[in-house]
Amino acid sequence: MARLLENIGKSILRDNGIVTPDFKIAKNQEEAVVAADELGYPVVIKALVAVGKRGKAGAVKFARNSDEVRKIAKEILSMTVHNFPVELLLIERKVEISRELYVSITFDPLKMMPVVILTCEGGVEVEGIAKLEPEKVKKYHVNIREGLHLYKAKEMWSDLGLTGKSLMAAAGILHKAYLIFEKYDATIIEINPLAVGPQGEVVPVAILMGIDDDALFRQPVLSKKVIEGSDRAWRPLTALEKEMIAVDKAESYRGTARYTEMEGGNIGFLCGGGGGSLLMYDALSRFGSRPANYTEFGGNPTEDKVSGLVKGVLSKPGVKGFCMVTNITNNTQTDVVARGIIKAFTDLNVDRANFPIIVRLAGVNDVKASKLFSEAGIEYHGDDITMEDAARLMVDKMKKAYPEEES
Amino acid sequence: MAIFADKNSRIVIQGITGREASMVTEHSIAYGTNILAGVTPGREGQSIHGVPVYDTLKRACQEKKLDTSIIYVPPAFAYDAVMEAIDNGIKLIVIVTERIPRHDVAKFLSAAEEANSVIVGPNSVGILNPEDRIKLGAIGGDRAERCFTPGEVGVISRSGGMTAECSWMVKRAGFGVTTSVSVGGDPLIGTPPKNILGMFERDPKTKAVVYWGEPGTNFEEDMADFVREGGFTKPLIAYIAGRFVEEMPEGTVFGHAASIIQGDTGKPSKKIARLRKAGCSVAENFNDIGDILKEVLVI
């Protein structure tokens, strides 16, 4: 899932007929003051980062005048919110709130259907309310081929006690939000709070919106606004991670690869298969080692893609060994993978005698793969050992090569 | 006996002229699976490794009376292909395609349910029944015998690659499989593992099930509840991978798209505890699966 920044989420709401408070973006104190002066006081200043729970992190604050704006802008711009350094601020006119509602639209992975969740106790974490006071939370599964009818939106808010102007407004917003969910291939739309003002007017104050990465091909406008691969990192992507995305995309028609940098560690880790990589990372950790990165590929990658990945894996500082494992492949040609690995080691001129390497690469064409590795002087295993056996061998090799090192 | 597919299955491959599908056709025929037809619009009259290609599934069904389809159509066109299969009365649809937009998946799952068609996948490597030499999808590659030998164990896996590896672990322990099923690594899939447990329960040949689980979803919790309620009474031996993911910041994805922990949902430790409480064996090491099988399958 690619998360959209709040300004993009709010622009989408506005483009689709949902009124939101006016906002501006600022990248420094001066811009913040100009923006706030134009919007009119009081204003709210938020860190513009694509993560939730910003309020809790202290990255949402109110200002009544330009002095306060200057002070708060400086403070928030120096923050790192849930590992994301704040580079931009979103400033908007503070909304008068008499009541806070909550709306989310997402997929229920159990029923495999879209689900709408509503409560009139918004502003806080809805999970807590759902546990303590389940009667205050409304859940409705939508028949995706029918969509969400406006009457259903009215029924739900009415069941929760809304009436009059705010009922009509909240139902309209929910109905439109569902249409946006469909139109933009969203995986989640969460409006929290959806504020009810003193005159019964209803305004989305904060929105979190996620888009399905797999649908970006048909969302040309959005695809330029999301950071690819951001769903797999808990912090901004590193330079090497971005490079590896480029390696993967260079030959997007064959094989997929994902690279994540782990903290510390000394084993360069490459694995074939999403499931197998989980097993191997667990096993290497359990046997007392630490992988420095987490790289998995699937779907029959080319020699160049594999060598590009291996080079990336080995280039992370602190990597002193290489562990490459696949499950017994269904379609990945192991001889092609072998050539990619050997090419990377040759290009980088790695001293194979003093660099611990374990390869367990079984499956299609593995007789050829075995031959290639033995000619290259790299210890090779096929289905003579299990994947966990390979992890054990790797850990033992590392301990032998670097006896003084604590893992 | 086996589940999903046997000698009577009448199999078609949608998207048969693609590189991957063509290779799978060749491997399947070599293994002994009878592929009756292929569909690629505009390519009628051609044949792929001897399998006739039709422009539409409707045409193929008229000629060959098909009931099982393997979908090898690219993500942007997969929705239409699956709807075509449902509307032409295909009863089992195995979707190999990865990265189909989630809204499309939810739509065809809903349509399939209404039409009583069973969908396995998306992002499934396939289903294999070694006794009848039926291979639906890439599963087993060019040498299915290496990992799949006929026997008495059912295999269910959330990972395509590990479907073969699990079946190989079964073989290594001296047993074989009735059917191995890759359910698909996506968050939305047609047949969750619990449903397959129910099928293995009804299959007299299956004496035990080996299961490969991962972080994310509620699949394992549902299986545990199903076992506790008596829906599945045979030994269930599970391995849950990705325990390290619990130590990582919430929401980080490793491996498959479905492998995401949110709050307490999806934690391997919770899944393991729930399965054990229901009386299932959960292997600490993947290597232990063989020994556990030997214990539970002793006559």
Whole-number average pLDDT of chain B: 95
User: Is B54 within a domain?
Assistant: yes
User: How would residue B163 be classed by pLDDT, with cut points 50, 70 and 90?
Assistant: very high
CATH number for the domain spanning B207: value is: 3.40.50.261
- Interface contact A328-B23, CB threshold 8 A: no
Choose among A334, A398, A390: nearest CA to A361: A334
Q: Are residues B102 and B55 in the same domain?
A: yes
Q: Are residues B117 and B171 in the same domain?
A: no
User: Is B47 within a domain?
Assistant: yes
Q: Are residues B39 and B154 in the same domain?
A: no
User: Is B109 within a domain?
Assistant: yes
Q: Is the pLDDT of residue A232 over 80?
A: no
- pLDDT tens by residue, B194-239: 999 999 999 999 999 999 999 999 999 999 999 999 999 999 999 9
Q: Answer whether A182 touches B (CB < 8 Å).
A: yes
Q: Are residues B97 and B192 in the same domain?
A: no
User: Is B137 within a domain?
Assistant: no
Residues in chain B: 299
Q: Are residues B177 and B277 in the same domain?
A: yes
Q: What is the pLDDT of residue A48?
A: 94
Q: Are residues B250 and B169 in the same domain?
A: yes
pTM of the predicted model, to two decimals? 0.94
Q: Are residues B112 and B165 in the same domain?
A: no
**What percentage of chain A has pLDDT greater than the value 90?**
74
Q: Are residues B152 and B290 in the same domain?
A: yes
User: How would residue A133 be classed by pLDDT, with cut points 50, 70 and 90?
Assistant: confident
B78: distance to nearest CA of chain A, Å? 12
Q: Are residues B226 and B168 in the same domain?
A: yes
User: Is B135 within a domain?
Assistant: no
In contact, A391 and A283? CB cutoff 8 Å? yes
Choose among A270, A359, A263, A281: nearest CA to A318: A263
* Total domains present in chain B: 2
Q: Answer whether B214 touches A (CB < 8 Å).
A: yes
Last residue of some domain: B93, B124, B155? B124
Nearest-5° Cα angle at B256, B251 to A358: 110
* CB contacts, 8 Å: A285 with chain B: 244
- Interface contact A113-B161, CB threshold 8 A: no
CATH number for the domain spanning B85: value is: 3.40.50.720
Q: Are residues B99 and B198 in the same domain?
A: no
In angstroms, the CA B230 to CA A144 distance is 33
Q: For chain A, which domains are there?
A: 22-93 (3.30.1490.20), 99-223 (3.30.470.20), 237-401 (3.40.50.261)
User: Is B224 within a domain?
Assistant: yes
- Interface contact A145-B111, CB threshold 8 A: yes
Q: Are residues B110 and B162 in the same domain?
A: no
Q: What is the pLDDT of residue A404?
A: 79
Q: Are residues B100 and B201 in the same domain?
A: no
Q: Name the residue range of residue B24's domain.
A: 1-124
